Structures are given as structure tokens and as C-alpha cells.
Amino acid sequence: MFNLMKTAILMAAITALFMAIGSMLGGQTGMLIALVVALGMNFFSYWFSDKLVLKMYNAQEVDERSAPQFYRMVKELAERAQLPMPRVYLIQEDAPNAFATGRNPEHAAVAATTGIIRVLSERELRGVMAHELAHVKHRDILISTVSATMAGAISMLANFAMFFSPRDSEGRPANPIVGLLVAILAPIAASLIQMAISRAREFEADRGGAEISGDPHALASALDKIHRYAQGIPLETTERHPETAQMMIMNPLSGGGLRGLFSTHPPTEERIARLQAMAGPR
């Protein structure tokens, strides 16, 4: 229920932002147009954002015939978590990562890169997929997917404001200050939306994943290995669409600066320490 409320608040905030910028650019008419666009985006995000993200990553659905070992692993973990069987996808990328998406456990999907399957042992991979199923069980996959879509929409809005703001009789921007403010503030707003995905969400998914798999040490080992490998292998789709980074089990974005400042992932070392404490001494 809390995550549904959080999603509703996020959608309301986006609607208000769209209307405010529409009003600045086109007065009452611009505000009404922005309201229609925002309502359309909210509807699309709720029902179709998971399909958009999967298509963005060119994820290919697999089954027990095309990826028997991986599919059976997810099925066994879903049964342990008492969850409906999610759709299972593979992404042809060398960078090791994984994510879950969907609007609820009945319409969920889990995706993993081929790189993570090659890099991790079977125990470690079970820990990772259990982490993703914990996101499904905690029902925070909707807010995660919607926020990624909305952050992309805000960036689109910034470009729209820059190129389609009202012009004077000589073709110059009628209010260049507004266009500049939108161009500056829109990316910040997108980052704040990503920050709406609390870092506590990852800690809870780590804890839940360790409980589902019954092997906290394996997930801790997987996080350490992913962290080391991911630093040298960029995930190209995420670099092009940084708003989706918060969906991954590990932040795949290269570089620091503002990206590090607004990161929705807790430090890997802290995640590993918590899992090791949960497991106790070997």
C-alpha cells in the first residue's frame, strides 16, 4: 500500500511539473495541453512502462526450452518466495547486471544480462535473482519502473521547452530565461525523481533476497564480483538512458560527479557488510 501511495504522489508531482512548465511557456492553453500530456504519460507509465524498459534493453524472453537452467532457477526461487512465476528475460550485454520490472507480482518480469550469467557462479546468480524477486515481493517494482519512464519524460520536456518555446516577431525566444531555467532545472528534477527511490529499497531487497535464497554469503559475493566487473564494462543502454540505472542491482553508470551524488544505490561495501552480518560467521 505504501508503494502504491508513493507511485500516486510521484505521478501527481509530474503532472504538476508538466502543468507549471506548460503555463510558463503557453499560458492557460499551454497548461491545459501539458495536463493532457501528463495524464497520457501517467496512463502509459502505469500500464506499459515495463514493456518500454524491456524493449529499450532489447531483452529477449526465454523459457524452459531456450534457457532451461536459468529459467528453472527463477522458478524454484519464485516458489520459495511464494510468488507467481514472473516472465524471464535475457539481455545480450557483457556488463553484469539484472533488474525486475512490472506493475505487480502478477505482472512481473525479471531480466539478467548474459554477462552476469557468465561471471557469477550458480550460487551467486541464485542470490542475485532472489534479490530481484524480493523487489517483486515487496511490490516496489512499479515505483521503480514508473520513475525511470517519468525521468525520461522530464528530459524530453526540457528539450521541448528549449526548441518550441514561444517566439517574438523576429523569431527570437519570447522568454529565453524560462527556457534556460527549464533546461537547468529539468535534469535536476529527473535526478530528484530517481532519489525518490529510497536507498533503503536496495537494503530491503538484499535482506529479502538472502532470505529467499537462504544464502546471504552468496549474494554478498555476487555484489562484490559485480561491483568489480561492472567498473570496467559499461552497460551501453544505461549510459544512453541513465534514468533506468536505479532499476539495476548495481549502478552501472560510469563516472562520478552528480551521478554519484544522486545515486539511488547504497555503497556496495555497506551492502556486503550487512549481508555478512545477517549470515553470521561461516
> Residues forming the annotated binding site?
131, 135, 202
Question: Which residue bears the cell 540505472?
Answer: 245
87 closest CA partner among 133, 122, 48, 128: 133
The three cell numbers of residue 259 are: 551521478
CA–CA distance, 265 with 142 (Å, rounded to integer): 17
Q: According to the 3-state scheme, what is the secondary structure of 204-241? A: HHHHHHHHHHCCHHHHHHHHHHHHHHHCCCCCHHHHHC
| CB proximity list for 262: less than 8 A, separation 6 or greater | 191, 192, 194, 195
CA–CA distance, 62 with 189 (Å, rounded to integer): 36
The β-bridge partners of 59 are none
Q: Could you tell me which residues are annotated as the binding site for Zn(2+)?
A: 131, 135, 202
The three cell numbers of residue 275 are: 549481508
List the catalytic residues: 132
- DSSP state, residue 170: T
The C-alpha angle 185, 49, 99, rounded to 5 degrees, equals 95
Phi-psi region of 280 (alpha: psi -120 to 50; beta: other; left: phi over 0): left
